[in-house]
Structure 1
């Protein structure tokens, strides 16, 4: 498919130094190692169920005779997930010829990582592999369509509205940057409208999965995964917990109407969004930036605002949908060392955007779910999201408009 992830460092104009390249290879190896050992990690959870079942009295075991069958079925679900993940990893070999240079050595790097640390996988990496499976269901299954409509659907409809007057004889369609592209479904939905889209992603977990989904699958519903099979709480039925989810719901290549419309700036450890797109080569490069559940991934959201302004052409649009969860806010509780985390209210973020040079042209709050298990007894992943469109203007003009808007507000009593 056109638009397979490319060499992020080349796109960013930076060549990794030897020490940096070694660190990146080790990071890639750690991720591929975790994917490779998904089955053993998930199996530990099922082994816990079995252990607890064995602790019950005969009378209590007789009350739930189906538990042994459920445990066996869960192991089969884990095995099917393992088959999908193994096929994904099999695509990444240094002599494969198709894989992006910084992803191609994934298997070799995993071998090196295992030689160094053994077979153990950090608990947080096991969690991230399960997170990939849930994201596959969100982005690439029919079951995830309703959730995608709440976020991707709103963003694509807004882009369609904003560029409805784009000249038919223009030399190229509108170009849209999608930071935090994840598994690239939003990118492909934008491309499917006839726009150009460039996705940007930092996580090797997401990069490996998106590269496979974009380039490795051969047909719709090629795989059936079981994203909730190890989630034992708040399940109405065993069938709900163990249900299979066919992916992808469409053959990804069918969403790309013409060559050259999709590209991926696959950073993969070579600097985050702000570092890459602050470079001179991306100055005024895009007609729009579309952020979905992305702004709060920043260490410093003010920097993100500045970089988005930098990457937009004059008059370009910044479309955003998401909460302000601030992913790094509690990093000090589980990481050694200090991690910068600037946590601002929505009001403060919008005021800062005006100072950066944005004019607010649409502003509302909308409900949107993220990785919500639609059959769970607990629906805790729906957010009241900020959904705005801002337009890049001269910084002085934006500040003047913001001051005027503030003056029009009724005085506090």
Structure 2
């Protein structure tokens, strides 16, 4: 990605979402104003957020496959012991049933926090999420809603997951009016964003980057705090090119920015955090300053959410762009096992961008031939 940058440089839409504030607690950006913290990895931060959600709201429930003993990634460890099996419990191996039950629970005024064991398994519940949860408020003329619904799911590469445990399905749900889609990049972000999602008056799909569950460690405030949804964050300011991503891909993009800086390229890096409704204004302001945009995500390039960002920014910034928008993404293949290193977008994957006129997606699809 870094070497590609060298060649490459040379109104939120609310979509039928409620804007009512379901919780009066002050929403903090970053950890400003929040009490002292301690070093946590991402799964521990998720666990801490779930503890707080259950402790502060007696209407909150956590359930899913194997959550009673902590779940496969240990995110729900200790919850059943502390809050009882009536509030934290295992479900049958039926994703449609998990989400269907969660919708009914939320419709009765509760906070339903449903876990899908892997994001790859969310598709049996697709009908419930897309045709029921997302349309509940709209079809009733705002008389009823299931805004207390949060669906958690570990997504993305894990290093050895293959095609049934490593998919990134966020784009499917970004197409659905009535849902919010949120993806954190770090422990501090994960805790604050998850609490915001649980307390948001809209159904939310919260994807957790499983690659970072134990790898990502940082100082996390111990207090109850929330981070605002639908607000992108400029992690790194720059003047030559804008980079946009989310989740685990942010750490890869930060490495690319550092390498590019050594070659005199100033990169502005933006974490989108909320994909729907996404913060067009922040990205637009950055691109109007830099004149260039590169988007990176793990999902396949065709139909990925990067395409939506590209189209929107092209419409808004056409006269300011000094080069075509580029995408460095996963390949248009099932997620492989032994060939995962070829599939994953890395900081060097844009190295075949020999001119501004070469679309990044073509470079990505040719990487296996070049062994990059």
Q: Same fold (TM over 0.5)?
A: no
Q: Tell which has more relative contact order, 1 or 2 (C-alpha 8 A, sep 6+).
A: 2
Q: TM-score, normalised by structure 1?
A: 0.29
Structure whose residues are more often helix by fraction: 1
Q: TM-score, normalised by structure 2?
A: 0.32
Larger radius of gyration: 1
